[in-house]
Amino acid sequence: MGEPLRVGIAGLGTVGCGVVDLLQRNQELLARRTGRPIRLVAVSARDRGRPRPVALDGLRWHGDARALAEDPEIDVVCELIGGAEGIALELARRTLAGGRHLVTANKAMLAHHGAELARLAEAREVALGFEAAVAGGIPIVKALREGLAANRVRRIYGILNGTSNYILTVMRESGRDFAEVLAEAQALGYAEADPSFDVDGIDAAHKLALLAALAFGGRPRFDAIHVEGIRHVAAADIAYADELGYRIKLLGVARMTEAGLEQRLHPCMVPKDAPIAQVEGVFNGIVVEGEDAGVVVLEGRGAGAGPTASAVVADLIDIARGLRLPVLGVPAAMLADHRSAPMSTHRGSYYIRLMVVDRPGVLADIAAVLRDHEVSIEALIQRARNPGQAVPIVLTSHETTEAAMSAALARIGSLAAVLEPPRMIRIERP
């Protein structure tokens, strides 16, 4: 049996305690699989006296997490504090600069500073593991960095936030609107008191920045992602999607186009029979389209103590085995600075819902605007007439550009018979 890998953990929240529990409970199994013990020796958290569901007896306690980076008896630091800046970033920099390995679940920090930290880790010849930063227990980082390394990725997309997926699933199953389901999710603990990071797409966009970097060999570019959340998705949209043969999912999508690397995070309608449409509740799902491997689908729990701790410890196992790979799939010095494709250049199909006054000529006026912008109608739903009253018109388009559709909707929204801003959801097909 080799020398132990000595671990320090910064942050003893849900994930940190999950890692402590897993390391203690599975210590014999981990030693057999790595040929050396993985030993937790030190921890740090803001409140030492807070009750926790794990035993911390015999561990060194650092009141300042940054001290873990200077502890001579630690080989690898697990940063589980969170946040793009502040102590988490300072701890990460100090750990790597001091020649110690770093494992982190911090997608926000890596989405903004990933290229810098990758350069630092590779210069000091230490590992930077971040499997837990993307999709919890789904081993997507290992899949992209190792299992699919021989492939040129055409497109990667997925459900990257369990809270939003849970809300959309319950809306579809119950027919209720967003605000009511969100309140219920908060009461059940599936959504935070301030749900903005989840329902406005920020959390998922951080993860998309890392997936796109891994898939296309570039530096993470959070600022290049088009981000929309799910607040504007109504129960009516979900019902119409079902009638048209779709389900609505909050998807992160990255693909290389003639205009550059397209990165977008927004609600999408996906065909009911697509694998991603079957990912429900708090689960995450990711689809990778490889040039040679074809379509690879991964699904699992994207958050929680168990799945995220599993991903953290998987990185520790790699380090204990002596495995060290380029952090973002290619050497940091070779990371591309891809040109960003403007959202206006996106090509795809669209779902549009309009609320209009029911009177002769309204549909003809709408069709004329779409024609003038070279947008072709694929399907149309118009209910029984109710002259003079407000009625919905729902349509889907054939493939067109975002610029053309945006211009058409701006013109349609100005028509006197249109009573509220048009609702638009993009359609994503396998």
Which residues are the active-site residues?
Answer: 207
Element (H, E) at 40: strand 38-44
Question: Are the C-beta atoms of 219 and 210 separated by less than 8 Å?
Answer: no
Residues 24-43, buried b or exposed e (16+ Cβ, 10 A)? eeeeeebbeebebbbbbbbb
Q: Which residues contact 189 (CB under 8 A, 6 or more apart)?
A: none
Which sign, positive or negative, has the C-alpha torsion 32, 33, 34, 38?
negative
Element (H, E) at 187: helix 178-188
- Tokens standing for residue 63: 């009141």
Question: Are the C-beta atoms of 255 and 155 separated by less than 8 Å?
Answer: yes
Distances, alpha carbon 13 to alpha carbons 32, 41, 82, 143, in Å: 28, 17, 10, 27
Q: Which residues contact 205 (CB under 8 A, 6 or more apart)?
A: 111, 222, 225, 227, 252, 265
Question: Are the C-beta atoms of 155 and 254 separated by less than 8 Å?
Answer: yes
**Cβ atoms < 10 Å from Cβ of 84:** 16
- Tokens standing for residue 208: 């998309």
